[in-house]
A and B are shown apart, each in its own frame.
Chain A
């Protein structure tokens, strides 16, 4: 009885437009296949950049320590590590790679030019520090370090909560 009622109800429906139905199905299947890959990529990117930022923090500490010793080689070495990460940083921020615990703000993708400019300022600051370290310019290095720290902080203020 229940079955017959259901069949009756179905028979009264408008016929389904078969090609559109299939297209929707295909799109859903493709999305189902791509979504985990995208999420995995985003997750990998987050994990990788988290490690890199931790290493960056250590490099900054190394520079701060080396400044008090005028250890120009150590300053240059740590600055190189910061520069290397700075150059590849942008590619590890794929869109949407900021679910918690990421602290990245959507502003990264909403204002790509501003984000790129912030990275550029950071790179210029670290290049300047490196140059001064190679020149063994102990008088100029403290200001260069302050500028580098400010470039980190500026990015945190605009693109991280």
Chain B
């Protein structure tokens, strides 16, 4: 499939997104709903981000318990560094799915991150990602601003991708000269022609590499009616075995990174924030009890932070398993009572206007997932 339009964008490290999309017929008919996925690598601690008001937390985390949390409900508080998230919550534009995870319990980052992107059952067994397959199911074209293409966005029909560079791009005449050296019809000539045909804005250099700066640019693109509708961001550093800290520790800093992205998206999107859904994705949570290094080990259950005007209401959606030892997974981790893939599948079904069953079949191998659209998103 030759794709000459941008339907999704992805932010990873030092990249940005520029260019002018051309929509296909299906996209033109649909009300544009943006889906933004923020990958939090390293194992985001759901108990730190959205802290249950359970006295057990004081017992098991005496040195890293977050103080200064803000109340969300009678049962849960939010980390003080998630200011923008709290602001969205107050407007009814933030929600949490708690005690959730992808169905992976072996606590390896590499395996876990592979599965969180592929949406599969066995690490490294799948060569495509759930978002890529979901976009294919929606029959919307795509282009990723990333090199290499992140696994989560890879589909069976490889979409186009590019990566902005800090170097000055060659002039058109130079490009044509290079192209003339390839034999006509060859894959290289085809690729070169595709590059030459790109809008001028995609050929500009870009030096910034902060995720929130990138989010600002992304939001401008997403807010356009004819702009892309999917964005992926990647924030690392959640693997806090040591010095996790409470309010100002390492984990709090990383949550603040996420919050900056959310702030930039909200401000940049303006009214389009009401037609947007921002979801987090992580490979696993962290153990309930702190370790000897004032950090936490790899765990299982975690939380999905959701923001945007497409949410039904401000809510903590959970089948809370409790924090008593007997309720923990392997007597040490927050249990996951909701398959996180149900949330992602529901989000794609809702945002791409594809029925849940089809989305489940195409993006998640027909696994037994629950349609949560009605509970989480606006009718």
Partner of A142, one of B125, B151, B241: B125
The residue in B106, B107, B114, B295 that gathers the most chain A C-beta atoms within 10 A of its C-beta is: B114
Q: State whether A161 and B124 are in contact (beta carbons under 8 Å apart), knowing that A64-B114, A68-B154, A149-B110 are contacts in the complex.
A: no
CB pair A145–B124 under 8 Å, yes or no, is yes
**For residue A150, which residues in chain B have a CB less than 8 angstroms away from its CB?**
108
**For residue A142, which residues in chain B have a CB less than 8 angstroms away from its CB?**
122-125
Please report which residues of chain B, range 31-76, place their CB below 8 angstroms from some CB of chain A when the two chains form the complex: none
Q: State whether A161 and B127 are in contact (beta carbons under 8 Å apart), knowing that A100-B242, A149-B111 are contacts in the complex.
A: no
Please report which residues of chain A, range 21-76, place their CB below 8 angstroms from some CB of chain B when the two chains form the complex: 60-61, 64-65, 67-70
Partner of B241, one of A60, A67, A70, A103: A103
What bracket does the count of chain B residues touching chain A fall in? Answer: 20 to 34
Please report which residues of chain B, range 283-321, place their CB below 8 angstroms from some CB of chain A when the two chains form the complex: 291-293, 295, 297
B185 interfacial by beta-carbon distance below 8 Å: no
- Report the separation of the CA atoms of residues A100 and B109 in the bound assembly, to the nearest whole angstrom: 23
B113 interfacial by beta-carbon distance below 8 Å: yes
B248 to chain A, nearest CB (A): 16
Q: Which residue of A lies closest to B122 (CB)?
A: A142
CB pair A146–B291 under 8 Å, yes or no, is no
Q: Mark A112-127, 1 if CB is under 8 A from B, else 0.
A: 0000000000000000
- Report the separation of the CA atoms of residues A64 and B117 in the bound assembly, to the nearest whole angstrom: 11
Q: Which residue of A lies closest to B293 (CB)?
A: A161
Partner of A68, one of B110, B151, B291: B151
- Report the separation of the CA atoms of residues A101 and B243 in the bound assembly, to the nearest whole angstrom: 8
A113 to chain B, nearest CB (A): 23
**For residue B122, which residues in chain A have a CB less than 8 angstroms away from its CB?**
142
- Report the separation of the CA atoms of residues A61 and B294 in the bound assembly, to the nearest whole angstrom: 27
Q: State whether A103 and B293 are in contact (beta carbons under 8 Å apart), knowing that A149-B108, A160-B241 are contacts in the complex.
A: yes
A89 interfacial by beta-carbon distance below 8 Å: no
**Dominant SS among interface residues on chain B:** loop
**For residue B242, which residues in chain A have a CB less than 8 angstroms away from its CB?**
100-101, 103, 161
A141 interfacial by beta-carbon distance below 8 Å: yes
Please report which residues of chain A, range 83-127, place their CB below 8 angstroms from some CB of chain B when the two chains form the complex: 100-101, 103
Q: Which residue of B lies closest to A74 (CB)?
A: B148
**For residue A65, which residues in chain B have a CB less than 8 angstroms away from its CB?**
148, 151
**For residue A67, which residues in chain B have a CB less than 8 angstroms away from its CB?**
124, 127
CB pair A146–B241 under 8 Å, yes or no, is no
**For residue B148, which residues in chain A have a CB less than 8 angstroms away from its CB?**
65, 69
B251 to chain A, nearest CB (A): 15
Q: Mark B135-165, 1 if CB is under 8 A from A, else 0.
A: 0000000000000100100100000000000
Q: Which residue of A lies closest to B124 (CB)?
A: A142
24 contacts between A and B (CB under 8 A): A60-B110, A61-B113, A64-B124, A64-B151, A68-B124, A68-B127, A68-B128, A70-B127, A100-B243, A103-B242, A141-B124, A142-B123, A145-B110, A146-B124, A149-B110, A149-B111, A149-B123, A152-B108, A153-B106, A153-B108, A161-B241, A161-B291, A161-B292, A161-B297
- The interface of chain B, by Cβ under 8 A from chain A, is 106-111, 113-114, 122-128, 148, 151, 154, 241-243, 291-293, 295, 297
- Smallest CB-CB A-B distances: 3 pairs: A142-B124, A149-B110, A68-B127
